[in-house]
Homo-oligomer: A and B are copies of this chain.
Amino acid sequence: MTPTSGVPEVLARSREAIAPAMKQAVERLSPDIRRLASYHLGWTDRAGAPLGAPGGKGIRPTLALLSAEAAWADAEVGVPGGVAVELVHNFSLIHDDIIDGDRQRHHRPTVWSVYGVGPAIIAGDALENLAHQVLLEASQATGPAASAALAEATSAMIAGQADDIAFEGRRDVSVEECMAMSAAKTGALLGCASSIGAILAGAPPATVGALRDFGSHLGLAFQAIDDLLGIWGDPERTGKPSGNDLRQRKKSMPVVSALAAGGEEAEELRELLLGPTATTGPGSPDGPGTPIPTGADQGTDPPGDEPGPGTGPTAGTGPTAGAGATEPLPPLRADQVERAAYLVEACGGREWTTVRAKAHLDAALGALERVRISAVPHRQLADLAVYVVERES
């Protein structure tokens, strides 16, 4: 990439480099699975007809290519890494949409809502597996290390997702727990994306580690921005309903930090989002730092009797309802969403999250200074990080 490239140019060139390899990987899937994957990636409509528009922004594969260049290799060396990370990212989106009962993503019906839950589970499984095939075939010398790094990041991502679900049933999620969950759920895969090209290039561990730290912090900044957009984002740009995270009572960074502020407004917010304290069962004390409830809390009533996604994820509970100890609450009404957004801001949750986004951006940029990497990709990684934090969708 030329030194004069701005972020849009860098993203466009990366898309061009990744697209053929991504198509080639998806071609390997069996026809029924390929159809779902192509639909999910925005390549085809639900009937399988090709669409002109490209998929997402492609930030993860771009990070992978830049990380190869940062280690003085050709961008091409990072391509299998970019493809693999993109496959894992999309596997997680397909499964997350089932788990959260979300019917829409980027203004399009989600895979499960078009093809059914079973095929969507299978499509996600196939993408997770394909990612390792791509990496192990990429290079005998460095593919295994890249595959191991991806498996480690995937493991963290999945654990973060499990925590996210467990938090739904809890009143007492601390700010630290929330940040640890975000670091696992979002930071680990971005850390992998930002270093996997360097791993494939055979870069020394210090370089790989600095690039991974860059990506992990970027992931936390990214999640902080995502959480802000989930409350105050423009529905036209985000493709999600206004105040969607509040409507779904999500324990996002702004909410958790606002709740931690204490005082009357924080208490009002707590009651609004989590219901009156009286509904909390025994064994869920309202203090921070309480360990995640164990299975003993939920044994008697099989939570599987909750409705699946097909019967109405608009109920906000999703197919996973019942995994926690408390009864799922209905989604907030529009007036409650508005009041909650006011309270989160009044309790400093918006400011706190904005400051955290900035701090993690700074930490990401700082990580790049720890080692000597190639100058142009260095600048492009930094520009991309700023772009991610300044985005509005």
Q: Contact residues of A with B, CB < 8 Å?
A: 28-33, 35, 39, 46-48, 91, 95, 98-100, 103, 109, 112-119, 121-122, 124-126, 128-130, 132-133, 136-137, 140, 143-144, 147-148, 151-152, 154-155, 158-159, 161-163, 165-166, 292, 294-296, 298-299, 302-311, 318-323
Contact = CB atoms under 8 A, between A and B. Distances in A.
Contacts of A48: 294-296
Contact of A295 (B35, B99, B152): B35
Contacts of A137: 148
A48 to B, nearest CB: 4
Contact of A159 (B33, B144, B152, B154): B33
Specify the main secondary structure of chain A where it touches its partner: helix
A304 B309 contact: yes
Nearest to A44: B295
Contact of A151 (B32, B100, B133): B133
B162 A306 contact: no
Given A109-B302, A116-B319, A310-B311, 14 more contacts: A29-B155, A32-B292, A35-B295, A47-B294, A100-B118, A114-B304, A118-B320, A121-B124, A122-B162, A125-B158, A130-B155, A132-B148, A133-B152, A307-B308
A60 B144 CA distance: 24
Contacts of A321: 116
A109 B298 CA distance: 14
Contacts of A304: 103, 109, 112-117, 309-310
Nearest to A155: B129
A39 B158 contact: no
A201 to B, nearest CB: 18
Given A114-B303, A308-B117, A148 B162 contact: no
A159 B126 contact: yes
Nearest to A160: B30
B125 A319 contact: no
A118 B310 contact: no
A162 B30 contact: yes
11 contacts: A30-B159, A39-B295, A103-B304, A109-B302, A112-B304, A121-B124, A125-B158, A126-B162, A136-B144, A308-B308, A310-B311
Contacts of A163: 30, 32
Nearest to A137: B148
A371 B323 CA distance: 51
A304 B323 CA distance: 22
A323 B119 CA distance: 7
A361 to B, nearest CB: 28
A287 to B, nearest CB: 20
